[in-house]
Amino acid sequence: MGKEASRKLEWRINVSDGVSERLEPETGAILRAWTWFKRLMLGGFILKICKFLEKAWNLAVDEPKKVIHGLKVGLAISLVSLFYYMRPLYDGVGGNAMWAVMTVVVVFESSVGATLGKCINRAIGTFLAGSLGVGVHWIAFHSGKNLEPIVLGISLFLLASAATFSRFMPTIKARFDYGIMIFILTFSLVSVSGYRVDRLLELAQQRLSTIAIGASICIIISMLFCPMWAGDELHLLICQNLEKLAHSLDGMFTKTCSKKMKGYRCALNSKATEELKANFARWEPAHGRFSFRHPWKQYLKIGASIRNCAYCIETLHGCVDSETQAPPHLKRHLNNICMRLSSSSSNVLQELAFALKTMKQSSKINLSVGEMNFAVQELKHALISLPNHNISIKNPSPSTVEASGNCNTEPITSIRASSSFMEILPLATLASLLIENAAKIEVIVNGVNELAVLAEFKPTTDNKKSKSNQSPKKLTSENQDPETVKIPQKV
């Protein structure tokens, strides 16, 4: 206010007598500050818009599917609008055309499954609520002029409350959330309407037909032009997560491309996405390699075991980062074996991803799992022979043991021996986490094997099928007694 007053003053003085010399420095500063502020605001705004457009461009380049979806929605809305615009039965925004347009805008989702699910939900919800609404309306109409609003109000209150509460039930929420919203909406509209029942039925028929037109345009466009199937996306997501874990395990000791190495982090938080896509996929008809009743639930199981593995890899990465001052020769020795285990684990995951991608039973998976388990045994053996190595190199004289026999005094030599144990510990932890991780990978292998049975993956050759069922059990039993295992010459 003060500033504005002074600016007004300035103009008056400038205009009236021209003695602006004395005042100019102050008003000039204010003006300059104002233009500077404006430019800054405008610049900031333009900068923000530019950044936004750049982000949008990057998104469009990364995922052209999203641009295609945008175009499809535009096409569907234009079609339904022009269809009604051209027809003589058109009677303004309040008319039935509105419902067709609204159906398209609200129902059209990026995946076919979501669109189909919403269409079916909308149809069932509208139909059920419409019938129920007409019934309640009839009862209210016949219960007298005074009771009518009370009957309507109470029934509306009870049904809307119960339906809203049911939307919180997990089973309902997953599949019928939208349908229940439409149920509430239609029921309220019908019970509020002042029409008689016969007029209502006519209206309902008109409305259902416009909704059907909107919904069928949505379904046709979403299924015919570059269809995006939620099932495909779920399948791809699981494959990609497997590959990301494989890359993370593979690059764990090389540390060359850190972005690829951190890929497993995508798997950590993919639960919500997987569940959403699995729910949508259940609405989809048979398409491509997937039948109508493809075992989508099994994908969720595999996803859960992938996440379990990712948690382990997250902890592993923490161990790799907090590297220690272990003696270099030991470090190299253990590191080499750990690297072999992590790369063979990575191989198993990559084989699984390949098998899932091609939907064929992999011929190499048993070999890969075998290699991984051999690497596990090798690592266990290395750990067994570790203290000897360590003590033999660090303390060549037998005095250490005599000292260590006496626990209370703790001479310097004993501390040297024991601190070397502390030095190996991070590596040993890393090793035992890698062994733990291998066990988790076997759970994934089992999950994928189950999927192969459920979804009837084609075998590459028949004689290998029987082996794949036995191998996991055999391998875990081997894990329990490490001393009975032979170590291969070359893994």
- The C-alpha torsion from 20 through 25 and 28 to 33, rounded to 10°, is -160
CB of 260 to a second copy, least distance (A): 20
What is the distance between the alpha carbons of residues 20 and 14, in angstroms, rounded to a whole number?
5
What's the start-to-end Cα distance of the chain, in Å? 81
- The C-alpha torsion from 80 through 81 and 83 to 86, rounded to 10°, is 180
> Which residue from 227, 295, 327, 426 is in contact with a second copy, where contact means CB under 8 A?
426
Cβ nearer to a second copy, comparing 160 with 367: 160
Cβ nearer to a second copy, comparing 152 with 249: 152
Q: Does 269 bind a second copy (CB under 8 A)?
A: yes
Q: Does 392 bind a second copy (CB under 8 A)?
A: yes
Which residues, 6+ apart, have CB-to-CB distance to 253 below 8 Å? 320, 335, 338, 339, 342
Q: Which of 94-102, 332-340, 350-358, 468-476 is the region at the interface with a second copy (rule: CB under 8 A)?
A: 94-102
- Binding letters toward a second copy, positions 156-185, x by CB under 8 A: xxxxxxxxxxx-xx-x---------x--xx
> Which residue from 1, 5, 224, 272 is in contact with a second copy, where contact means CB under 8 A?
272
> Which residue from 376, 417, 448, 451 is in contact with a second copy, where contact means CB under 8 A?
417
Cβ nearer to a second copy, comparing 382 with 452: 382
- Binding letters toward a second copy, positions 23-62, x by CB under 8 A: -----------------------------x--xx--xx--
Q: Does 215 bind a second copy (CB under 8 A)?
A: no
Half-sphere exposure of 376 (CA within 13 A, CB side): 27
* Contacting a second copy within 306-325 (CB under 8 A): 307-308, 311-312, 314-315, 318-319, 322
Phi, psi for residue 361 in degrees, rounded to 5 = -70, 120
The 10 Å Cβ neighbour count of residue 405 is 8
What is the distance between the alpha carbons of residues 47 and 45, in angstroms, rounded to a whole number?
5
Cβ nearer to a second copy, comparing 204 with 355: 204
Report in angstroms the alpha-carbon separations of 316 from 232, 233, 248, 291.
31, 29, 10, 39
> Which residue from 341, 380, 445, 475 is in contact with a second copy, where contact means CB under 8 A?
380
> Which residue from 18, 88, 328, 398 is in contact with a second copy, where contact means CB under 8 A?
398
CB of 369 to a second copy, least distance (A): 20
> Which residue from 335, 347, 400, 449 is in contact with a second copy, where contact means CB under 8 A?
400
Cβ nearer to a second copy, comparing 93 with 224: 93
- Residue 125's Cβ-count burial label (10 Å; 0-12, 13-18, 19+) is buried
**Look-up of token digits 């089992």:** 446
Which residues, 6+ apart, have CB-to-CB distance to 175 below 8 Å? 117, 279, 282
